[in-house]
Every structure is written in C-alpha cells, then in structure tokens.
Chain A
Amino acid sequence: MAETVESPTMKEFVASGQPMVEFDDVSIGFEGHEVLSNVSFTVAHGETRILLGPAGGGKSVLMKLANGLIEPDSGDIRVFGRSLREMTENELFEMRAHVGMVFQESALFDSLDVEDNVAYRLEEEHVDPKEIRERVLEALRFVELEQVIDKFPSELSGGMRRRVSIARAIISKPDLILYDSPTGGLDPITSTTIIELVVKQRDVSHTTCLLITHRLQDAFMLATHRFDPQDKKVERIPDNGIDASTKFLVLNEGHIVFDGTTLELTHTKDPWLREYLE
C-alpha cells in the first residue's frame, strides 16, 4: 500500500504530540451490569496497542466506544484530540472517515460483492470510478485476494472474509485502524496469515492501531516480528528484538490490569497476569 497521505489538519495534530486515542475514566454498563469501569489509557501516534484479556472483559465494547458507535455512561473519549461527547452525529461520521475498523465477524455487506464491499467508502465519497477500481485492486493485492473480486461474502471462507474486511478498512488509508479480534474463530495457520497482514500494514503505513486478540501467540508475534520490504515477507526481528511501537493493555472484568510495553508485560510480577500469560 502507498504511504499514508495525511491531511494538513492531521499533520498539525500529529505535530502537537497529543495522543491519537485517549480514554479518560470511561465507564459503561448494560442492564445494570458494569462492563467497563474507570478505564483510562492513551494510544500515541504510530503506536500498535494490543488489547488482551479473557472473553467478556469488555474489549469489543471498548473498541466500539473508540469509534463512537456507542456512548460511555461516564468519562471522556478523545480521538484525534477531539472529544467524542462534544461531536454531533455528522461530525462523528466525518471523524470515522479517518478510522478503519475490522469487525469480529467481518461484517461484510452480504448483498454486495467483494469489489463493492471494499469500494464502499470510496463510492460514498464519490471518487472517480476508475480510481476506485485501481484502489480496490491495490487493497485486494495487499491482502493477497485479487482473485475473489467478483465473489460474494457467502462464497468466501472465514479467513478470506477477514482479509476482505482488512482491505475495506485500509482502502481509504485511515489514520487509525481498529481490529476487533481479527483472528477470532480462525485456525492457527489462517490466524498467522492475518497477523502477518497486520504487521505488514503497521510497518508499511505506520498507521496507529488498536487490536483485540485472545491469542497470546498473535500478540507476541506482532511484538517480535517485522515486515521486510526487500523480501516482501514477515520475519522475526533480529537479536530477539522487540517492536518499540507495540504496547499492551490487558483488561479483566472491565478493569485495566496492565498498561505497558512488551518487556514490562513479560516481566510482570502480578500473579493473575502471570497465570493468564502462562
């Protein structure tokens, strides 16, 4: 994929050094049950933040909150420096034009073929049809699925659907990508393919991203691997190196139990965290 083209306002925002995403004391509950409780963290520009934690810990809810799809009961969420609470519905739609999101179950439009699914955002923006076609092919080439351009989502495997979903998320070259369990429900080989795509996207475009995963091996692969543009493949960082831009956030029962770097996570003394990691 081509280098992310940043708008002047986005450049100014990045230069200001403010976090891309900022959760400040956020709480939310459904039907009397608190799902997230006083959650605070930040995601810096160019950072890959991995959300770990047991199922039902509020990770997907956190992801939807970050994209303004649901509102918190209390606390403030700032994306690109602007509080989501202060935005109107139309401003939220404009903000989301800079955010790509990969859903847990892909959420592809089942009445549209792969080409129209991937092109959806560009068609909404009335981009020239010729340019749309080129960018769709480019996005599908990135996820190595050029050959399924005319197929419908129901004709694809789970892994393929997830890759098309990634293509749809990155086609507009967003400034922030939210991956909601991109490897959930997939076999280990397909999961590795998906994570390699995430690594490739991170190292080619340096896009800020938030990623949920249940699989520790996926999380550590993101932290210990890089994309080699010469060989065009994902490889282990030499000398047991660790990607500095990858950080972790661990959620348990709606509370943050860890917020830090890969090394801090692997050297944690917290008994629950040690048990979870082992």
Chain B
Amino acid sequence: MRFVSPEAYAKTIVASVQEYSLLCGRAVANIFSRPRYTADIFTQMDSIGVGSLPIVVLTGFFTGCVLALQAAVSLKEFGAVNMTGELVTLSMVKELGPVLTGLMVSGRNASGMASELGSMKVSEQIDAMRALGTDPYRKLVTPRLVATVFMLFFLTIISDACGIAGGAFVSVTLLKLKAATFFHTGYMSLEHGDVVEGLVKPIFSGFIIATIGCYYGLRTTGGTRGVGRSTTQAVVASSVIIILVDFLVTQLMIGIFGR
C-alpha cells in the first residue's frame, strides 16, 4: 500500500471536487446550447426510467406493506390502528418513496453509467469521440442527466403510489381495516408542503445519480479492474450523497413549510 502525504491527499480531494463541479457545470450548460442529442435522451429515459420500473414498483409496494405492519404494532398500544393510513402515506410521500427510489435507481443506474463510460474510457472510445469532433459531456453526460432527473421524478410518484397500495393491502387483509378509512386518513394527513418535499427530493437524487455515475466513469483508469473500482465507488458515493442531501432538503423544507 502506497502512503501519500496529507498535502498531496488534500490536493487530490480539492482537484476531484473541482473536476466534479466542472462536469456538473458543463452538463447543465449543455442543456441550453446546440447540438442537443434528443434521441440519446429518449434512449436513456427508456433505459433508466422504464428499465427501473420493476424494482421501483416492487420496492415501493413491499416497503408500504412492511410499514403498515410495523406501524400497526405500535399504534395498537395507543388504540390508534385506524391511523395506519396516515402514517404509511406520510412516510411514503415525504421520505421513503423518494429516498428508496433514489437508492434503488442509484444502485442500478449509477453503476451502469460508471461501468459503461468507464469501459469506453479505458478502450479509448472517449478519446475517439473527442477526436471525431464530439464533446463527450454533451453526448454522454447531458442526456443521462436530463433523463435521470426527469424519470426519477415520475418513478418516485409511482413508488409512492405502490407503497400506499401495499400499505392498504396489508391494512385490509391482515389488520382488517376498511380501505376507505385507510385512504381517507392518508389523504387528509397530506398537506401541500409534504407533496412538495416528496417531489423536490428526486430532482436532487436524479442529479446526484447521473453526475456521480458519469464522473466516476469518465475518470476511470487501469483497465477492467479500474472499471470495477469506478462502478463500486459510484454506487457508494451516490448512495451516501443521496442520504446526505435528503437530510439537508428535509431541513430546508421544515424551515419553509414548518413540518
């Protein structure tokens, strides 16, 4: 194992942050200038959005099921099992739907982006693209960024709906609650701020997944082993940052909406 001086280590971190910031800046700036790779955006939307649908639906549904079961145990002690709908709906819309969808999509797509771009980098395909007069940030990063932010927004809504459906399924079949009670308490508990909070989070998560996946992919070195390393780093970094940003956005939303 090679040891580096604290100074060199600090410089590496600063350089990485600078490199990542430049990638984000260029990826966003490219949205507002030509040429635009619209076909690539739709291809990525299909791959990221439609491709992630099964895991998002299953994760959302079973999270709602588990949430209803767990909530019922605690609420029973206070004689408030009827409040299960409220708890499941609020938890799914505000927190679990956005975060779990972000983490699932991150595991599937940040790794996919890092490995695809990493393979292209080590086989000189990125250099070939530049040599052929194409900006790889414009062709590879921006379509992934737009597609991930756009599709994660809708995937989160689907996840929320599936989670609530899962909660309702458990409440009706196992807890013997009325479906109308479940949905009514759930609906009444939601306020404007809760929905906004739940829909703002996937925008940040989508941005993190795409930029982190592409960043680690484009800085890959060291052949196939390097591709594996980049893939792992992309998933770890994006997952941690999603949870960190979730905390910050929650704080911000509480500050704005007071709940």
Interchain nearest-CB distance for B33 vs A (Å): 10
Q: Assess whether B133 is in contact with A93, with CB atoms less than 8 Å apart.
A: yes
Q: Number of A interface residues, CB 8 Å?
A: 22
Most buried by A among B129, B130, B133, B134: B133
Contact A121 B133 (CB under 8 A): yes
Cα separation A67 to B132 with both chains bound (whole Å):
10
The reply to whether A69 and B130 form a contact with Cβ atoms under 8 Å apart is: yes
| Cα(A216)–Cα(B230), bound, Å | 39
Minimal beta-carbon separation of B214 from chain A (angstroms)? 16
Q: A105-B123, A107-B123, A110-B123 are in contact. Are A96 and B133 (CB under 8 A)?
A: yes
- Which one, B125, B131, B135, contacts A109 given CB within 8 A? B125
Chain A residues within an 8 Å CB radius of B120: 109
Hey, what's the 0/1 contact readout for B119-149 against A, CB within 8 Å counting as 1?
A: 1100111011111111100000000000000
Does A64 have its Cβ within 8 Å of any Cβ on chain B? yes
Q: In chain A between 88 and 136, which residues have their CB closer than 8 angstroms to a CB of chain B?
A: 89-90, 93-94, 96-97, 99, 101, 103-105, 107-110, 120-121, 124
Shortest beta-carbon distance from A174 to chain B in Å: 10
Query: Given the interface contacts A104-B124, A110-B125, does A69 sit within 8 Å of B133 by beta carbon?
Result: no
* Count of A-B contacts judged by CB separation below 8 Å: 51
Which residues in B have their C-beta under 8 angstroms from that of A64? Answer: 127
Is the pair B131, A69 in contact by a Cβ cutoff of 8 Å?
yes
* Chain A residues, Cβ within 8 Å of B35: 124
Please determine whether A93 and B123 come into contact, CB atoms closer than 8 angstroms.
no
B124's contact among A90, A97, A103, A168, by CB below 8 Å, is which? Answer: A103
Interface string of A49-83 (1 = CB under 8 A from B): 00000000000000010010100000000000000
- Give complex CA distance A110, B117 in Å: 12
Chain A to chain B: the 10 pairs with minimum beta-carbon distance, closest first: A107-B128, A107-B124, A101-B131, A97-B133, A96-B133, A93-B133, A121-B132, A103-B124, A107-B125, A69-B127
Q: Nearest residue in A to B139 (C-beta to C-beta)?
A: A124
A-B contact pairs, 26 of them (CB 8 A): A69-B130, A69-B131, A89-B135, A90-B135, A93-B130, A93-B133, A93-B134, A96-B130, A96-B133, A99-B131, A101-B128, A101-B131, A101-B132, A103-B124, A103-B127, A103-B128, A104-B124, A107-B125, A107-B128, A108-B125, A108-B128, A109-B125, A110-B119, A110-B123, A121-B132, A124-B132
Name the interface size band of chain B.
10 to 19
Shortest C-beta distance, B28 to chain A (Å), equals 16
Task: Enumerate A123-175 residues with CB–CB distance to B below 8 Å.
Answer: 124, 168
Residues of B within 8 A of A93 (CB): 130, 133-135
Please tell me if the beta carbons of A124 and B127 are within 8 angstroms of each other in the complex.
no
Residues in chain A within 8 A of chain B (CB atoms) = 64, 67, 69, 89-90, 93-94, 96-97, 99, 101, 103-105, 107-110, 120-121, 124, 168
Shortest CB distance A129–B (Å): 14
19 other A-B residue contacts (CB within 8 Å) besides A107-B125, A107-B128: A69-B127, A69-B131, A89-B135, A93-B130, A96-B131, A96-B132, A96-B133, A101-B132, A103-B131, A107-B124, A107-B127, A108-B125, A109-B120, A109-B129, A110-B125, A120-B134, A121-B132, A121-B133, A124-B134
Closest to A64 in B: B127
Q: How far is the CA of A89 from the CA of B26 in the complex (A)?
A: 12
Complex Cα distance, B121 from A109, in Å, reads 11
A121 to B128, CA, bound (A): 11
Closest to A120 in B: B132
Residues of A near B131 (CB, < 8 A) are: 67, 69, 96, 99, 101, 103
- Chain A residues with Cβ below 8 Å from B128 are 101, 103, 107-109
Cα distance, A67 to B31, chains bound together (Å): 26
Residues of chain B within 8 A of A124, CB atoms compared: 35, 132-134
When distances are taken between beta carbons in the complex, the residues of chain B under 8 Å from A96 are 130-133
CB distance from A176 to the nearest CB of B (A): 11
* Smallest CB separation, B46 vs chain A (Å): 14
Residues on the B chain within 8 Å of A69, using CB: 127, 130-131
CB of A108 to closest CB in B, whole Å: 8
Chain B's nearest CB lies how many Å from the CB of A17? Answer: 27
Across the two chains, which residue of chain A brings its CB closest to B35?
A124
Interface centre among A90, A97, A101 (most CB of B within 10 A): A101
State how many angstroms separate the Cβ of B50 from the closest Cβ of chain A. 18
Residues from chain B with Cβ under 8 Å of A104 in the complex: 124
What's the nearest-Cβ distance from chain B to residue A275, in Å? 32
Residues on B with C-beta less than 8 A from A97 are 133
CB distance from B249 to the nearest CB of A (A): 33
Complex Cα–Cα for A220 and B124 (A): 28
B138 nearest CB neighbor, chain A only: A93
Query: In whole Å, how far is A155's beta carbon from the nearest beta carbon of chain B?
Result: 16
Residues from chain A with a CB closer than 8 A to the CB of B130 are 69, 93, 96
Is the beta-carbon distance between B123 and A94 smaller than 8 angstroms? no
